[in-house]
Copies of this chain bind each other. A is one copy, B any other.
Amino acid sequence: HILNKNLSYLQNPKISQSLKPSDNFTPRHLGNTPAHIDEMLKVIGVKSVEQLMDETVPKNIRLKPENAFKHNGKEVIGIESETMMLAHLRDIAHSNKIFKSYQGTGYYPTNTPSVIRRNVLENPNWYTPYTPYQAEIAQGRLESLLNFQTMVTELTKLDVSNASLLDEATSAAETMFMAYNVHNGKRRKFFLSNSMFPQNIDVIKTKADGLGIELVIDAPANFDWSKAEEFCGYMVQNPDNLGNFTDITEVANKLKEKKVVVTMIADILALAIMKPPGEMGVDIAIGSVQRFGVPMAYGGPHPGYMACKDEFKRKMPGRLIGVSIDAQGDKAYRMALQTREQHIRRDKATSNICTAQALLANISAFYGQWHGPEGLKQQAERLRSFAEILIDETEHLGYKVVTDKNNHFDTVTINVKESGFNSAEQVVNEFHKFGMNLRQIDDHHVSIAFNEVTSLVDLDEMIEIFADLKGKYPANGFLSQQFYENRKFRGVPQNLKRTSKFMTQPQFNEITSETQMMRYIQRLADKDIGLTNSMIPLGSCTMKLNSAIAMIPITWPGFAGIHPFAPKDQVKGYIEMIKELENDLVAITQYDAISLQPNSGANGEYAGLMAIKKYHESRGDFHRDICLIPTSAHGTNPASAALCNMKIVVVECDAQGNINVEDFKKKAELHKDKLAACMITYPSTHGVFEAGVVELCEIMHKHGGQVYMDGANFNAQMGLTSPGFIGADVGHLNLHKTFSIPHGGGGPGVGPIGVMKHLEPFMPGHPIIPVNGRSSLAVAGAPYGSAGIFPIPYSYIKMMGKQGLLDSSRHAIVSANYMAKQLEGDYKILYTGENGRVAHEFILDMREFKSTSGVTETDIAKRLMDYGFHAPTVSFPVAGSLMIEPTESEDKIEMDRFIDAMKRIREEIREIESGKADKVDNVIKNSPHTLKHLICNDWKHSYPREKAAYPAPWIHTRGKVFPTVARIDNTHGDRNLICTCPPIEEFL
């Protein structure tokens, strides 16, 4: 309440200026001062920001100021001062209670090694970059992701791993679809063990529902072998829901004969000492790598993993990092098989995943290097030994232990009903008194999962409580050190023991000291461009400031140390923040309700379309399955629609880049009885506020369809308009774009959806922790998805307040128009609105240069590296183009440098066009130039070194990140696909 009082004081405009704090955030988030804005407006040719907004945003969707940031009685209330924001965040964190967590179920306390926490998770060099599309200035995180892939293949003993998926549950669901696709959709049944974690089952159910796959959920023993060939896939979990670890080699062999794809969710740590899936004949293994140093964070973000046999690799979803060579013949990393990416496959995509969990995958890879195979073995051995002790001691005390005495890993399940107690709840409550959370599986069972931070004394205490509950606690205490001295263990039974070596590569064995780890992390970071180095003007990605203050709370124990299934009264802080964040997003978007569960934009699309689908079904409209999608849409849109079994009908765009309203109308009418939805991005991916948007919504609604609005471009809307106001029924936001969550080099993301009232019942729920009463249709493993990073958008919204949010969008639009104006003399701007204005981003057409000079959009992207810049988005949404989005956080000085670079490149193109420069041997075609190349004794080029390295004078003072590899040969890499660490002698 003190905070509220403080806020109302600060927000009172009559409070004397002398009493106002000097640490407000908005002017520091915004890159430009009022003076900068004035200069830019002059260039644009308008008198005021308001005039530009009038010329840019169509009147019929423009919110009146008094109606912005308000909806259904909800309204954004800001916290301007940094000091107060931190105090408020601390209050929230302290309202969460940190219990010792034994709830397991896929989430385990872990110790993030401090050197990794500080230098990766808390370091903007790691958390600010985008997905490594520009591989030449992303070799650092590409190397680390390759380490991740190698670690996963080694532990699972499978051939290929991708560079992370969203979490364990979504990985499992992806796997089901993969199996389905292996059989080209011809086998519609998928078998699921009923002893998997409930959230995994539920997310798979949602997906099966969307795709029309028939799930058979039963005990593996009940699998009907006579019908085996009707099944595309078969999935079990190891250890299973009760803690049992099973060797399925025989079953797998039999399934293989029937061509059933065998899949297994496997605990990554268990594989250090237990038989890995690859040695059981499993085709695909999935799971979470959270317990490798990634905080529980109330459910996420966490890296999901997927590894498979070589034969399935081209069907694998997600990003795959591969090894190739560069133009100088040196080894170089890059994303492999990019042709599989969503924007290419569209409705034929086998997955809609785009943003994944790169930052978290990197953390877990470093964790793997930190501990090495021996450390992981030691840890696994220890937890297994803890479990063995607990099994023996509780049995001894008269408990009915359900978990197999031998075939277990870290988890022990007890049937407490059969042990003489009324209910599982009773036992769980007893442990709460001692600050411990056990898992209540059902009315009869509790389970205990040990973890890295469990100590022997914790184990003591636990056994003592179990004894006490049985009235067997002796007056003089129970346990003592002697109890553990020279204790012998049965250990993993021979048949389940891992005998094969793993992680034998130097990466996992040569870093033995913290100094080496610190330098390795630094050396990798030095190779990459992040927001710490330059603007990253990736259109559609909104690379705005990720403020340090917003990152500070996420590693506090009060946020990081909480299990997603912790009892309600332990997570009051989280619940309060989630409610407030939902309310703020309602007020901002003017949707009626928000679900924060989706953990990426694409996952939001999928959740939103599922809501539409279930809505239609609830009205008996099972036949509504047509989805209209414009040609300009992001690849995830058709992919998401496909995942809901919708049929995509493509709508044309007109010459101005707008959706062709006539074509839209025509197709809507044509399919009117089967119309499910349309998907539109607003402003459009062409960077334009289309005037026809309201009409599109009306057409849709007239025919009983629902409007899905892709929120990737929401950074142009805040306070100016809103999806709810425009007429959308549902849509996602990318909190990792508009709301300042850092992109982490390819994730994490948060992609909440907003819906209008009628769709609310169909938003994601959760089987363990119901969300606003919804207990199914989960799209992620945790009830609130990646809740651990909610403090970031929450801080952003609060510290900006209404005016700041509005100014974000206004400034973003001013900056884009300024840059477009400055560049239009040299480059062709592809699309503009009715008044010649662009929205918050714009497209430069590079196609003409191909014929005049041989220069392509890729050449220009690479040449920008020589100027110290990260390229804009290449060839999306238009092939042969660059799309530039400056965001409100970039300042005019930086934009002017970028503009200057682009103009100089244009001049360089002219030199080729005019014959002054060679067509092949020129600064552009040979870009980017590495230091090794630039400093070579024998310079063979027709242009001088300085022109290659320092093509603009300001580079000397500004500094730049020199690319560490030259142009990468993607074709070579894809042809010789290598996705694990090559032997690296030069490693340290």
* A residues in contact (CB < 8 Å) with B: 2, 5-6, 8-10, 12, 14-16, 18-23, 27-33, 82-84, 86, 90, 111, 113-115, 117-119, 122-125, 371, 375-376, 378-379, 381-382, 384-386, 452-453, 455-457, 460, 481, 484-489, 510, 512-519, 522-523, 526-527, 531-534, 545, 547-549, 551-552, 557, 889-891, 893, 931-932, 934-937, 944-946, 949-950, 954, 956-959, 964, 986-988
Contact = CB atoms under 8 A, between A and B. Distances in A.
A957 B5 CA distance: 57
A122 B893 CA distance: 28
Contacts of A19: 382, 385-386, 456, 484, 487
B548 A514 contact: yes
B936 A945 contact: yes
A988 B893 contact: yes
B513 A29 contact: yes
Contacts of A123: 123
B489 A518 contact: no
Contact of A382 (B20, B456, B513): B20
Nearest to A461: B2
Given A29-B513, A519-B532, 18 more contacts: A2-B457, A5-B457, A12-B485, A14-B485, A16-B488, A18-B381, A21-B379, A22-B382, A28-B514, A28-B517, A82-B114, A84-B455, A515-B890, A518-B548, A934-B935, A935-B945, A935-B949, A937-B946
Given A16-B484, A382-B22, A945-B936, A6 B455 contact: yes
Contact of A519 (B18, B533, B964): B533
Contact of A522 (B22, B378, B532): B532
B455 A18 contact: no
A206 to B, nearest CB: 37
A452 B937 contact: no
Contacts of A484: 9, 12, 15-16, 19
A141 to B, nearest CB: 15
Given A382-B18, A937-B944, A513 B28 contact: yes
Nearest to A377: B22
A31 B935 contact: no
Contacts of A545: 513-515, 518
Nearest to A378: B22
Contacts of A114: 82, 86, 547-549, 551-552
Nearest to A13: B485
A534 B526 CA distance: 14
Contacts of A890: 515
Contact of A119 (B31, B487, B548, B956): B548
A315 B557 CA distance: 50
Residue with the highest number of chain B CB atoms closer than 10 Å, among A113, A517, A519: A519
A682 B242 CA distance: 62
A531 B552 CA distance: 24
Contacts of A457: 2, 5-6, 9
Contacts of A453: 83
Contacts of A22: 371, 375-376, 378-379, 382, 452
A523 B23 contact: no
Contacts of A23: 111, 113, 452
A28 B512 contact: yes
Nearest to A487: B16
Contacts of A513: 27-32, 545, 889, 891
Contacts of A117: 548, 552
A799 to B, nearest CB: 11
A387 to B, nearest CB: 11
A125 B959 CA distance: 17
22 contacts: A6-B457, A16-B486, A23-B111, A83-B111, A90-B557, A114-B551, A115-B549, A119-B124, A125-B522, A513-B545, A513-B889, A514-B548, A514-B889, A515-B891, A519-B531, A526-B526, A893-B988, A931-B931, A935-B946, A936-B946, A956-B986, A958-B988
A90 B891 CA distance: 40
Contacts of A376: 22
A965 B42 CA distance: 39
A117 B949 CA distance: 34
Contacts of A460: 5
A945 B934 CA distance: 10
A545 B32 CA distance: 40
Pairs A-B, 8 closest by C-beta atoms: A957-B986, A114-B548, A114-B549, A14-B485, A937-B944, A22-B378, A115-B548, A18-B385
A119 B28 CA distance: 16
B382 A21 contact: yes
Contacts of A515: 31, 531, 545, 889-891
Contacts of A932: 950, 956
Contacts of A548: 113-115, 117-119, 514, 518
Nearest to A547: B514
Given A6-B457, A23-B111, A949-B935, A485 B516 contact: no
B115 A456 contact: no
Contacts of A15: 456, 481, 484-485
Nearest to A964: B959
Nearest to A795: B114
Nearest to A388: B18
A680 to B, nearest CB: 31
Contacts of A527: 959
A893 B987 CA distance: 11
B12 A514 contact: no
A442 to B, nearest CB: 31
Contact of A481 (B8, B31, B946, B956): B8
Nearest to A534: B519
A386 B18 CA distance: 9
Nearest to A35: B512
Nearest to A384: B18
Contacts of A531: 515, 518-519
A379 B23 CA distance: 9
Nearest to A929: B935
